[in-house]
Amino acid sequence: MPVRLVVRTFSELCITVGALIILFVVYFLFWTGVKAADAAEDEIDTLHSRWARQPVAPAPPPDSAEPSAPAPYRDGKPFAMLHIPRFGAGWEWPVLENTEVRTLQKGLGHYSGTARPGDTGNFAVAGHRRTYGDPFKDFPKLRPGDAVVVNDGTTWFTYRIAKKPYRTVPTDTAVVDPVPRGSGFEGAGRYLTLTTCEPEWGSSHRLIAWAHLDATRPVSAGRPQALSR
């Protein structure tokens, strides 16, 4: 009798643990995706509303003084949209300022202190590989020549991937330097760096993709060719 009780208790415990594991997996595979989709949609709506309200500034005369420095990005707030056609025609995510955990639950995160889109330097962006919408799930599919298009409300910036994703460790912060180490770039330029976790369901390493600015286009002129295919 005691043996049967132990076996039954153990079986019930295994069932309970199994159910908890299933619920945990469902949470990470489904619920975080739902939350991220809703949060990202809210950030996109915020951007579009802001852009719709901002006036179109006239071009300054040739002999005008240098324009004043733009206002700094606000922590945790969106400032651009990022598109990667390689990941699908409808793939688009908001880019928010900083790479804190709560920021990456709503979209992609800009490494604070790195360049703005289109500026000389390195515009560096991080995103989840899995969970919270899986924005960079297909990161290993990136190939040289692939377009990465950024829209800041006034300009489309089309970058081109320079090489296949590079694997490194989290402490290798030089990958987001103004001239990123390991990229093959030499000297100052207008670069973009994308980072995500590696392996797919872990975070012991990082995957890095580097790109260089290929073209710019005013938003008023319509979507760039890279998004029209």
Catalytic sites, residue numbers: 128, 197, 206
| Token code pair at residue 225 | 């060719």
Distance CA 215, CA 217 (A): 7
Provide the b/e sequence for 124-162 (b: ≥16 CB within 10 Å): bbbbbbbbbbbbbbebbebeeebbbbbbbeebbbbbbbb
Decide if 196 contacts 129 (C-beta within 8 A).
yes
For residue 215, the Cα-to-chain-centroid distance in whole angstroms is 20
What's the distance, CA 160 to chain centroid? 16
* Percent helix / strand / coil, the chain, rounded to 5: 30, 25, 40
DSSP letter for each residue of 122-175 = EEEEE--SSSTT-TTTTGGG--TT-EEEEE-SSEEEEEEE-SS-EEE-TT-GGG
C-alpha–C-alpha distance, residues 162 and 122, integer Å: 14
CB 91 within 8 A of CB 84: yes
